[in-house]
Amino acid sequence: MKKRKSLEEYTIGILKGDRSSLAQAITLVESTLFEDRKMGTQLVQDLLPHTGNSIRIGITGVPGVGKSTFIESFGMHLLNSGRKVAVLAIDPSSQKGKGSILGDKTRMEKLAADERAFIRPSPSGHSLGGVSAKTREAMLLCEAAGFDTILIETVGVGQSETAVRNMVDFFLLLMLSGAGDELQGIKKGIMEMADGLVINKADGDNIKASKLARQHYLQALHLFPPNESNWYPKVELVSSTEGTGLDETWGMIEAFEQSTKSKGFWRKNRASQRSKWLEESMYNLLLEEFSKNQSVRKVLAEFENEIESGKVSPQWLAQKALESFLSNK
C-alpha cells in the first residue's frame, strides 16, 4: 500500500513545481473522504500566499467548435512565449460510473507531453456550470506550483455557464462560422458574459464565411449594454490547425488585463468571486450536514411513499425535514 504524503510533503512538492505532487494534491482536494478533504482544505490554506499571480481564462463553446484543439494550439503558443500553462479540462461525467467519459490528455497529446504544461481532466460530476466541484481549489494549487496561465475548459455551452464566469478573469467564447444563421444555437446570456469571442476553424474555404461571421458578432456585441468592466468584447479569427490568430487572441487577453487592472475592476472582480466561493462553500457544507442528519433521514423515509404517489408536496416535506433538523440541534 502506497504511503500517504504528509501535508508538508505536498506543500514542498507543489512549491517546487513538481507535477506529480500537484496531481496528487488535486486528487486529495477532489476526494469525498472526510480526512482527505480536511487535509486538502488545509493544504489550500497553507499555499494561499503563493496563489493569485496567474491569469485565469475560462473557455467554452458550442458543440463541435474544437475546444480541445484550440486549447492545445493556444497552450503551445503560450509555452513558446515563455508562459507556464495549466489546463483544467472538465469532462462530462458518466451517470453510471461517475467517472470522466472523455479525457483531454488523449486529445492534447503534444501539450500533455510538454514539461512546461500541466493538464488535469476532472469529471464534472453533479456540478452545474460545466465545471468540477473543486475547480477553484485545483486552480489555486496550480498557481502555487508556478503556473502563470490557467485555462479552464468547460463541458460545453449552456445556461449554467455562469459558474465558470464566477471563477475566471477572462471568459472566452469559441464559435464557428458557416453554420447557417451565425446567431442561432447560442444564448444571449453567454454572449453578454463573454469578454472575447474566437471564431475557430477560420481557414481554407471557410475564411470568407469567418470574416462575415466576425462582423455579425461584432454588431451583436455592440447592442449589449457595457458591462461593469467597461470592456467591449473583441472578436478574433483563429485556425487551430494552422496556428493563425493565436497571437492576436493572446493580445486581446493582455489588453483586457491591462485595462481592467488600471480601472480597479480586476481586483474587485476577484474579491467578488471569493465572496461567491464562500457562499457556495457554506451552502454545500450545510446541505451535506443536513442530508446526513439521522432525524432528517427518518422523516424522509417516513414519507417516501407519499412523495412518490403525490400525496404530499416536496416543499411540504422539505419544510418538515428542516423543522426536524432544527429541533434536534
Averaged over 163-175, what is the pLDDT?
91
Amino acid in the structure at residue 192: E
* Lowest-pLDDT range of 5-9, 116-120, 221-225, 305-309: 221-225
Closest CA to 145 of 56, 38, 47: 47
pLDDT, tens digit (0-9, with 9 covering 90-100), for 256-297: 999 999 999 999 999 999 999 999 899 988 998 999 999 999
CATH match of 51-263 with 3.40.50.300: yes
Residue type, 40: G
| CATH ID of 1-49, from 3.30.70.660, 1.20.5.170, 1.10.645.10, 2.60.120.620 | 1.20.5.170
Hey, which of 69-78, 176-185, 212-221, 282-291 has the most confident mean pLDDT?
69-78
pLDDT of 246 above 90 = yes
Looking at every residue in the chain, the average pLDDT score rounds to 86
The set of residues, in sequence order, having a beta carbon less than 8 Å from that of 211 and lying 6+ positions away, is: 202, 237
Instruction: Give the pairing type, strands 55-61 and 149-153.
Output: parallel
* Residues 125-147: tens digit of each pLDDT: 444 433 456 899 999 999 999 99
Q: Find the mean pLDDT for residues 214-239.
A: 89
Whether residue 132 contacts residue 91, with contact meaning beta carbons closer than 8 Å, is answered with no
At 182 the pLDDT is: 46
Compute the half-sphere exposure of residue 94: CA atoms within 13 Å on the CB side of its CA.
8
Q: Who contacts 17 (Cβ-Cβ below 8 Å, separation ≥6)?
A: 145, 146
Nearest residue to 124 via CA among 115, 116, 136, 135: 135
Least confident range from 66-70, 224-228, 282-286: namely: 224-228
Residue 291: half-sphere exposure toward Cβ, Cα within 13 Å = 6
pTM for this entry? 0.88
Cα distance between residue 223 and residue 219, in whole Å:
7
HEC string of 168-228? CCEEEEEECCCCCCCCCCCCHHHHHHCCEEEECCCCHHHHHHHHHHHHHHHHHHCCCCCCC
Residue 102 pLDDT exceeds 70: no
pLDDT band at 217 (very low <50, low <70, confident <90, very high): confident
Where exactly are the structural domains of the chain? 1-49, 51-263, 275-327
In this prediction, residue 299 carries a pLDDT of 95
Determine the average pLDDT of the residues in 59-77. 90
H runs (alpha helix) in the chain: 7-15, 19-30, 34-47, 67-80, 109-113, 135-144, 162-165, 188-193, 207-221, 246-262, 265-292, 294-302, 304-309, 314-327
Residue 120 backbone dihedrals phi, psi, to 5 degrees: -130, 105
Q: What's the CA dihedral at 309, 315, 318, 319 to 10 degrees?
A: -130
More confident site: 166 or 148: 148
CA gap 145, 210 in Å, rounded: 38
